[in-house]
Chains A and B, each alone.
Chain A
Amino acid sequence: MFNLTRRRAISGTIRAVAGAIVSLAVASTALTATSQAALADDFPTKPIKVIVPYKPGGRTDVVARMIADKIQQKGWLEQPLVIVNADGGAGANAFGQLKRGGNDGYTIMHWSHELLLSVAMGLGGFQLDDFKSIGFTGGGSPLWAVREDAPYKTLNELIDHLKKEPRSLVEAVAIGSIPHIVGAMLEKSAGVETRYVTANSNADRLRLLLGGNADIALFAASEFMRQGENLRPLVYFGNERLAALPDLPTAKELGYDASWANPNWWLAPAGTPDDVVKKIAGALEKAINDPEIAEYFKNNTLEPYWTGGDEAMDQSVAMLASLKSITDTLK
Chain B
Amino acid sequence: MFDAFLVVFHLDNLLLLLAGTAVGIVVGAIPGLTATMLIALTLPMTFHMEAVNAVTLLIGEYVGGISGGLITAILLRMPGTPSSITTTFDGYPMAQTGRAERALALGIMASVAGGIISWGFLAGMSPTLAHFALQFGPWEYFTLVLMALFMLAALASGSLVKGLLAAAIGMAFSLPGVDSSLGSARLTFGSDTLLSGFGLLPVLIGVFAISQILREAAEPKKEKGKARLPDRKLPVHWSDAKVHGMNMLRSSVLGTWIGLLPGIGGNVAALVAYSTTRQLSKEKEKFGTGHEPGVVASESANNAAIGGALIPLITMGIPGSVTEAILIGALTIHNLQPGPLLFQNSPEIAYGVIAAYAVANVMMLILMWGTVRYIAMIAQIPRAGLLGAILVFCVIGSYAVNNSFSDVWIMMAFGLVGLGLELAKVPLGPFVIGFVLSPIAEEQLRASLMMSDGDVWAILHRPYALFFLAIAVLTLFYPMIIDLLGRRGGKTESANV
Interface residues of A (CB under 8 A from B): 1-6, 55-58, 61-62, 65, 69, 83-90, 92-93, 95-97, 121, 123-125, 167, 170, 174-177, 180, 195-201, 203-204, 206-208, 210-214, 225-230, 296, 299-300
Assess the B403–A57 pair: CB atoms within 8 A. Answer: no
Give B245 Cβ to nearest chain A Cβ, in Å: 33
Residue pair A93, B196 in contact (C-beta under 8 Å): yes
Query: Could you give 20 example pairs across A and B, Cβ below 8 Å?
Result: A3-B42, A3-B45, A4-B45, A55-B325, A56-B329, A57-B326, A57-B327, A61-B329, A87-B196, A90-B178, A90-B196, A121-B183, A196-B450, A198-B138, A198-B450, A199-B447, A203-B325, A207-B134, A208-B137, A214-B451
Q: Which of B79-87, B145-153, B218-226, B313-321 contacts A (4 or more CB under 8 A)?
A: B313-321
Which residues of chain B have a CB within 8 Å of any CB of chain A?
23, 40-45, 47, 134-138, 178, 180-185, 192-196, 199, 262-263, 312, 316-319, 322, 325-330, 332-333, 335, 337-341, 402-404, 406, 443, 446-448, 450-451, 453
Docked-complex contact B329 and A89, CB < 8 angstroms: no
Taking a contact as CB atoms closer than 8 A, the residue among B44, B178, B326 that contacts A83 in the complex is B44
By Cβ-Cβ distance, the 7 closest A-B pairs, closest first, are: A57-B329, A176-B183, A213-B137, A88-B196, A89-B195, A211-B134, A92-B192
A204 — which chain B residues lie within 8 A by C-beta?
Answer: 262-263
Chain B, interface SS category = helix
Please give, as numbers and ranges, the residues of chain B lying within 8 Å of A203 by CB-CB distance.
262-263, 318-319, 325
State whether B180 touches A200 (Cβ < 8 A): yes
A5 lies within 8 A of B138 (CB): no
A87 and B329 contacting across the interface, CB-CB below 8 Å: no
Contacts of B402 in A (CB 8 A): 85-88, 93
A residues less than 8 Å from B134 (CB atoms): 207, 210-212
CA distance A62 to B406 in the complex (A): 26
CB distance from A111 to the nearest CB of B (A): 15
Residue on A nearest B447 in the bound complex, by CB: A198
Contact of B451 among A2, A213, A299 (CB under 8 A): A213
Name the CB-closest residue of A to B188: A89
Name the B residues within 8 Å of A214 (CB-CB).
451
User: Shortest distance in angstroms between B143's beta carbon and chain A's nearest beta carbon?
Assistant: 14
Docked pose: A67 CA to B65 CA in angstroms: 31
A-B pairs under 8 A by CB, number: 171
**Whole-angstrom distance between the alpha carbons of A230 and B326 in the complex?**
24
- Chain B residues lying within 8 Å of A170, measured Cβ to Cβ, are 451
What residues on B are CB-neighbors of A90 within 8 Å? 178, 195-196
- Which residues in A have their C-beta under 8 angstroms from that of B316? 206, 210, 227
In whole Å, how far is B429's beta carbon from the nearest beta carbon of chain A?
27
What's the least CB distance linking A321 to chain B, in Å? 20
A101 to chain B, nearest CB (A): 12
CA distance A89 to B41 in the complex (A): 21
Cα separation A229 to B345 with both chains bound (whole Å) = 13
B137 touches A226 (CB 8 A): no
Whole-angstrom distance from the CB of B139 to the nearest CB of chain A?
9
How many angstroms from the CA of A85 to the CA of B195 in the assembled complex?
17
A230 CB contact (under 8 Å) in B183, B263, B340: B340
What is the bound-complex CA distance between A225 and B342, given in angstroms?
Answer: 12
Nearest B residue to A121 via CB reads B183
A65 to chain B, nearest CB (A): 6
Residues in A neighbouring B339, C-beta threshold 8 A: 226-228
Cα distance A11–B404 in the bound complex, in angstroms = 19
Chain B, Cβ-Cβ closest to A85: B403
Is the beta-carbon distance between B192 and A195 smaller than 8 angstroms?
no
* Complex contact A229–B195 (CB within 8 A): no
In whole angstroms, what is the CA distance A143 to B262 when docked?
A: 23
**Would A57 and B340 count as touching, CB distance under 8 A?**
no
Contacts of B181 in A (CB 8 A): 175, 198
Contact B326 A55, beta carbon cutoff 8 Å: yes
Q: CA separation between A61 and B329, bound complex, in Å?
A: 9
A206→B318 contact, CB < 8 A: yes
- Asked if B403 and A97 sit within 8 Å, CB to CB, the answer is yes
Determine if A211 and B317 form an interchain contact, defined as CB atoms under 8 angstroms apart.
Answer: no
**Do B47 and A65 touch (CB < 8 A)?**
yes
Chain B residue with minimal CB distance to A228? B341
Nearest-CB residue, chain A, relative to B140: A213
Given A227-B317, A299-B335, 17 other A-B residues pairs in contact with their CB atoms under 8 A: A57-B325, A57-B327, A57-B328, A58-B325, A87-B196, A89-B194, A93-B196, A95-B192, A97-B404, A121-B184, A195-B453, A197-B137, A204-B262, A208-B138, A211-B137, A226-B339, A230-B340
B192 touches A197 (CB 8 A): no
Q: Which residue of A lies closest to B330 (CB)?
A: A57
Q: B45: which A residues are within 8 A, CB to CB?
A: 3-4
**A314-B398 Cα distance, complex, nearest whole Å:** 39
List chain B residues, Cβ under 8 A from A299. Answer: 335
Complex CA gap A211/B263 in Å reads 15
Kindly list chain B residues whose C-beta atoms are within 8 Å of the C-beta of A121.
183-184
Give the nearest-CB partner of B396 in chain A. A2
* Contact between chains at A195 and B451 (CB < 8 Å): yes
A residues near B319, Cβ cutoff 8 Å: 203
Closest A residue to B27 by beta carbon equals A1
Also in contact, A207 and B41, with CB within 8 A (given A123-B178, A174-B180, A227-B317): no
**When the two chains form their complex, are residues B451 and A65 in contact, meaning their CB atoms are under 8 A apart?**
no
Which B residues lie within 8 Å of A199 (CB)? 447
